[in-house]
Amino acid sequence: MADELRHECGVVALYGLSRSASKAGPASRAVRDGNVAALVPRMLLDLQNRGQLAAGISTYATGREQLLDTYKDVGTVMDVFRMTAPGKHQALMAPYAGSAAIGHTRYATCGRDDRRYAQPFERHHGRLWEWFSFAFNGNLANFPDLRDRLKKENDYHFALDTDTEILLHKLAHGLRADRPRSLKSLLASLSRAFDGAYNIAFLDAMGRMFVARDPLGMRPMCWAVQGRLFAAASESVALSNLGFQKIQSLEPGQAAIVEDGALRLERFAPARRRAHCFFEWIYFSNVASTLDGSGVYLARARSGQRLAEWEDQALDADCIVVPVPDTAKAAADAFGYHLGLPCIEGIIRNRYVGRTFIQSGETRGDNARRKYTPLPEVLKDKRVFLVEDSIVRSTTLSALVEQIRTVGRPREIHVRVACPPIVAPCFYGIDMSTLGELFAPKFAPRGYTGNPSAAMQARMAHTLGIESLRYLSVEDLAWCLQIDAGSLCTGCVTGKYPTPWGGKLIRTARRNHGRGKTGRTYE
């Protein structure tokens, strides 16, 4: 179930350009006032779905002692920036007024309550081109190798257990020179060293900025210009809600660079292939976003349509469709519509219970049971088609099925899942647990390619205690997302990864799993 997934993060960037690149828009007042930084908390709030553990901002302004300055803390965007108290929010943001800014909102698997892990990361230096701040979204699959090489060859010490610190050191090393280095060449050198997903928003004390997307385009990165305001964000919704209209996606291996107040697009690495993460559409992204030309809402709706097209159960007047709140709602609506079945909220989500993956293993099941309340007046004696976006460990789904059986007393429960079975971990920014903790791998036959057989799904349904279970196939994903199948990363549903280090890590994970080792020993 997707809310057992640990998410990555969200980044934003804003710059008041020296001259207008297009017609001015609603956010142009911030440029006239010379303080685009004031818009960052609002943008981060639109990306709160991508991270709720910490948030921060770095801003640039000439004429102040701290040309580059950073504020960050643990908590939600509302809490960190004190947005519920306008007076306190304005007082907090006043010292960080600036003509350029980057921001970050974070989920994490380590250091959750440690402010040091919050981003942006800032590195002070006397030379302006070596004084910089950056925000990072993704995961370096070759993080252990990079860390070991830096320790061995350069005698580095690491204070934090995170690949963001690796990136900090690599940026600092690349910028070390007697004169400012080309940002394009800096990014080109990073692309040769890094394996994985890495979207970066960078700002230095010279007032230079870049927003870069990795050569595989794993994570989304959108940008737009209106009047003199350049903006970029992990999702289009953060830009559209500011009034931007012509919103585009950075191409894989492409960077938007601002120098001397002027914007240009540069390709810093060849995009030999693309590997977009399909989970951005299935679960992670805001339903109002459009990523790489494909709308999130319509992608989820098409997944429900495709599930309906494959439906083989006999239907009658007692059948109802029930979405698992909230990310499966669009799929469930479409599933019901195409089968002529009513889609009803038979489960109410308690929004004051935290996400189950944040809890320890001992309490996750209890929290899952507190998370949802079945409605017996809706479910009793019905044949329930429960629609979910994905199943990871199955802890939450198992607890929910038990609740529905006990409280709702339906006649039957049929589960429909709007993505393929997850049979392998992700090494590119989504923590899907270890191989042994995942639900599906134990049911997948040798040579499994991502298309679950009827027999495989029947065994899974029996384990879950439900009448039937149906997944989408890997082939269905491309149609649902309206993206070429060869442009998707399907590592977690096929075990075949788009980068060399992805392949290395899954082989290590399988060896360790076969030897009975537990823990994230592939890291």
Residue 368: its pLDDT value, please? Answer: 66
CATH for the stretch 292-514? 3.40.50.2020
Closest CA to 4 of 450, 437, 347: 437
**Residues 195-210 pLDDT 10s:** 999 999 999 999 999 9
Picking from 173-187, 234-248, 355-369, which range would have the lowest pLDDT averaged per residue?
A: 355-369
Rounded Cα distance, 464 and 397, in Å: 8
Q: Number of C-alpha atoms within 13 angstroms, CB side, residue 402? A: 13
**Residues 211-228 pLDDT 10s:** 999 999 999 999 999 999
| Average pLDDT value over all residues in the chain | 91
Q: Where residue 360 falls among pLDDT bands split at 50, 70, 90?
A: very low
Residue 522: its pLDDT value, please? Answer: 34
Contact criterion met (CB below 8 Å) for 80 and 40: no
Closest CA to 303 of 321, 325, 329, 284: 329
Enumerate the active-site residues. 9
pLDDT at 477 over 60: yes
User: What's the rounded mean pLDDT across residues 333-352?
Assistant: 93
Residue 352: its pLDDT value, please? Answer: 67
Residue 358: its pLDDT value, please? Answer: 40
pLDDT at 389 over 60: yes
Contact criterion met (CB below 8 Å) for 105 and 50: yes
Residue 257: its pLDDT value, please? Answer: 98
DSSP character for 50?
G
Of residues 351 and 377, more confidently modeled: 377
Q: How many residues does the chain have?
A: 523
Pick the CATH number of 7-272 from 3.90.1150.10, 3.30.70.100, 3.60.20.10, 2.40.50.140: 3.60.20.10
Picking from 178-182, 323-327, 454-458, 516-520, which range would have the lowest pLDDT averaged per residue?
A: 516-520
User: What's the rounded mean pLDDT across residues 306-324?
Assistant: 96
- φ/ψ of 44, rounded to 5, equals -65, -35
Residue 246: its pLDDT value, please? Answer: 95
DSSP character for 65?
S
List the structure tokens of 221. 């990165």
User: What's the rounded mean pLDDT across residues 378-400?
Assistant: 95
Query: Measured between alpha carbons, how far is residue 118 from residues 38, 47, 112, 164, 265 in Å?
Result: 19, 15, 9, 10, 29
Q: Where residue 86 falls among pLDDT bands split at 50, 70, 90?
A: very high
Residue 2: its pLDDT value, please? Answer: 44
Residue 370: its pLDDT value, please? Answer: 80
List the structure tokens of 171. 């940026």
Rounded Cα distance, 153 and 251, in Å: 34
pLDDT at 489 over 50: yes
Closest CA to 72 of 60, 58, 56, 59: 56
- Residues of the chain above pLDDT 70, percent: 91
- What contacts 514, CB < 8 A, 6 or more positions away? none
Domain boundaries, the chain: 7-272, 292-514
Residue 110: its pLDDT value, please? Answer: 53
State the pTM of this model. 0.92
**Residues 51-73 pLDDT 10s:** 889 999 999 999 899 999 999 99
Q: Give buried/exposed letters for 291-314 (b at 16+ CB in 10 A, else e).
A: bbebbbbbbbbbbbbbbbeebeee
List the structure tokens of 298. 């319509």
Residue 177: its pLDDT value, please? Answer: 94
Strand partners, 267: 254
Residue 112: its pLDDT value, please? Answer: 59
Question: Which pairs from 364-369 meet CB under 8 Å and 24+ separation?
Answer: 364/4, 364/395, 364/396, 365/395, 365/398, 365/399, 368/395, 368/396, 368/399, 368/400, 369/399, 369/402, 369/403
Q: Where residue 32 falls among pLDDT bands split at 50, 70, 90?
A: confident
